[in-house]
A and B are shown apart, each in its own frame.
Chain A
Amino acid sequence: MISIRNVSKTFGRVQAVRDVSLDIRAGEFFSLLGASGSGKTTLLRMLAGFEGVTSGTILIDGQEMQDSPPHLRPVNMVFQNYAIFPHLNVRDNIAYGLRRLSVPSAKQAEMVDEMLEMIALPGYGDRRATQLSGGQMQRVALARALILKPKVLLLDEPLGALDKQLREQMQLELRALQKKLGITFVLVTHDQEEALTLSDRIAVMSQGAVLQVDTPAGLYERPRNKAIASFIGNMNFFDATVSRMGPPAVDIPGFGRMMLNGHDNGRPDGSAALVAIRPEKLTLHAAPPAMAALKGVLQTRQYLGGREMLHVGIAGRAAPIAVALQGDQDEATASLSQGHPVWLTWKDDALLVLDAE
């Protein structure tokens, strides 16, 4: 549906987007995820036509669009600050784009009513736009864009200004709406949880470049490098050396040899690598287990509601290892306090091997 090919954008001396190539499929919920300044918003604004490209091409539905002004592109946008027209009521806001299409007014009214129904604000048509709450404005902004039946809906951090509960509710509604309408959604967000919940696929951006494009599970389970692994969720990292004598393994100084079940990406023997493991893939023992285990000392416990994060200090290692505990704990684990010795074990396939920096 959208094909971004070698697109770059420079503002003065700042390179906001560097040689980005992406394909976004029809009917997909696609997210651009990154910290502020990563170029995600600039990329979205280039799709909408508010920014020109410095180089590269943008194809929307097979048509080259990088040189078209916004009003000629088959995309519509939901703005971060909603951009609801303050001088118009809700009905006229939603019908704004219909005027140019010379839709008969009876038909317009019918379409607006349908939209109001869809965004669960029936009867709000005659309200002044300035009387709406943030969440309501968000819905009106959605309706205003969707009434034009765009091929692609662009969303620029649409939920950023809402409080947590409302945001989570709107996430569910957005996802359901997208599945129902089958329109391609392109969402910009800095909230990794939001991206993981909503998206079919995510492009992680940093410093103007796309680091990885994958499904939420793919990004979480198979991050391509340290930046992504640490950006999405929590991760423990170990410097290691690849060993190919016998079955693939890595040597971690101070920890010994760890087996890799197949996913060593064919790195040569003796090369440096980074080994990563998620906190929830570690098992914590209050007493020495039967199998081989890593011994450490409990440093802090962080209660997080449904789960608990423990930090375990290991001799000869500066950063403590994070361990996540979920659900009920046995008595011995629950009673552990700072300074207690603990043992960590994990399954071999929980280890990830990444490029060393």
Chain B
Amino acid sequence: MARYAGFHRPNRPLAVYAAVFSIILYLPILFIPIFSFNSGVYVKFPLEGFTFNWYWDLFQREPLLQALWNSVRVACFVSVLSTLIAIPAALAIARYRMPGKTPAVSFIMLPLVLPGLIMGVALLTLLNRMGVTLSLVTVTIGHMVICLPYAISVLLPRFIGFNRSLEEASADLGEPPLRTFWRVTLPCNMPGILACLLMTFTISFDEFFMAFFLSGAQSTLPMYIWGQLRFPQDFPSLLALSTLIILFSFVLIFASLRLAKIGQPAQQETGR
């Protein structure tokens, strides 16, 4: 007779469901790396031969490297600026009681659910009216609008969970408020801040809509990919490029999620 495995026994149907879910989610993405190593130009089975040529080809393209450099620059600015803005905002939300806080926080989080298309058009209209020339700067501004809510949502749980008696201890040991922030608050929350930097970097790096509407003569990497889709002979190279981007984004997001967990109160383990 089967023994009762306990209330927290492994749930097999749920595990199967999770597996099926993941496969359906990631199967389409799996085709991208597969065909990026295929020597044929057209995306169709059967596969023809194994090649790295599409990857080598990427490094020959001057415009691509320029777009990559643009994307990296924009992403660096966006991640640093939005994290710097998000730190005091998240601290204030976590600490202070103020009238109208809940609606204010919802308002900050709104860009998370607004379609990128609408945000892009809205910003384009606004910047046009103000007579601003489109450039990488305007792309950066657009990306910051998108990244700020993400940045705050990464930092907020850290700051809420932060043990404030550490700051009290620092003050008690003679450090004035700013020095306390520098010596205790900042270093103790560094994992969360790094997670925030990585997250916003990735979002900016992969973003399309804002770049589409707000970039001038210089394009970002997603813009470059969009532009090259017209040329069938370039498609395998784009697959190779996409494979690299997917890999890069995965690494950054995983790193960010792991960092966000460091130093957080350990979650209760029910598995034992």
A residues adjacent to B (C-beta < 8 A): 48-50, 69-71, 75-77, 79-81, 83, 85-87, 96-97, 100-101, 144-145, 148
B169 is contacted by which of A83, A87, A100, A148 (Cβ under 8 Å)?
A83
In contact, A85 and B188 (Cβ under 8 angstroms) = yes
User: Which B residues, 164 to 180, have Cβ-Cβ distances below 8 Å to chain A?
Assistant: 165-166, 168-177, 179-180
Please name the residue on chain B nearest to A100 by beta carbon: B174
Count how many chain B residues have C-beta atoms less than 8 Å from C-beta atoms of the other chain: 21
In contact, A79 and B174 (Cβ under 8 angstroms) = no
Bound CA–CA A87/B169 (angstroms): 14
Bound CA–CA A70/B164 (angstroms): 14
Please name the residue on chain B nearest to A130 by beta carbon: B263
Give, as a whole number of angstroms, the nearest-CB distance from A269 to chain B.
56
Bound CA–CA A76/B168 (angstroms): 11
Residues of B within 8 A of A81 (CB): 163, 165
In contact, B174 and A97 (Cβ under 8 angstroms) = yes
A48 is contacted by which of B166, B172, B183 (Cβ under 8 Å)?
B172
29 of the cross-chain contacts (CB-CB < 8 Å) are A49-B172, A50-B168, A69-B171, A69-B176, A69-B177, A70-B168, A71-B171, A71-B175, A75-B172, A76-B173, A77-B169, A79-B168, A80-B165, A81-B163, A83-B165, A83-B166, A83-B168, A83-B169, A85-B184, A85-B188, A86-B166, A86-B188, A87-B188, A96-B170, A96-B173, A96-B175, A97-B173, A101-B174, A144-B173
Residues of A within 8 A of B168 (CB): 48, 50, 70, 77, 79, 83
Counted as pairs of residues, one from A and one from B, with CB atoms less than 8 Å apart, the total is 64
Given A77-B169, A85-B170, 8 more pairs with CB closer than 8 A: A69-B177, A71-B171, A79-B169, A81-B163, A83-B169, A85-B166, A87-B190, A97-B173
Residues of B within 8 A of A96 (CB): 170, 173, 175, 183
Bound CA–CA A78/B91 (angstroms): 25
User: Is residue B187 within 8 Å, beta carbon to beta carbon, of the partner chain?
Assistant: yes
In contact, B173 and A148 (Cβ under 8 angstroms) = yes
Bound CA–CA A144/B170 (angstroms): 10
